[in-house]
Amino acid sequence: MPLHVVEKVIGGFMVLDLRGRITLGPDTEIVRNKVKEVVAAGHTRVILDLGGVSYIDSAGLSTLIACYISARNSGGEVKLLKHTKFVRDN
C-alpha cells in the first residue's frame, strides 16, 4: 500500500497526516517532496502526524531527518506527532 498524505492547517501549523509505511523508494520521496512543497509555499511550522504509519525503515528515518534539516535551513521547523510504540521500537 503506497503512503497516503492528507494536508491540514490547524492553528497556524501545516499538519501532514501520513498513512501507510515509510520505506525506501516512492514512500520516502513522497514525504521529502511534500515537506519541501509546503515549506516552499510558506508553511514554516510543519507537523508530521505518524499515527497512521505502521512501519518506518532506516531510509524512512533518514528521510524524516532530512526533512527536519531542509526545513530548518529554510527557516522552518518540523515536529513529529503520534509516533506509535511500534514505530518508536523499530
Residue 84: pLDDT above 80? Answer: no
pTM for this entry: 0.89
In residues, how long is the chain?
Answer: 90
Give the whole-number percent of the chain exceeding pLDDT 70: 91
Residue 69: pLDDT above 60? Answer: yes
Tell me: the pLDDT tens digits for 2-49?
899 999 999 999 999 999 999 999 999 999 999 999 999 999 999 999
What are the residue boundaries of the structural domains of the chain, listed by start?
A: 4-89
| Torsion sign, CA atoms 11, 16, 19, 23 | negative
Tell me: the pLDDT tens digits for 38-56?
999 999 999 999 999 988 9
Structurally, at CATH architecture level, domain 4-89 sits in 2-Layer Sandwich (3.30)
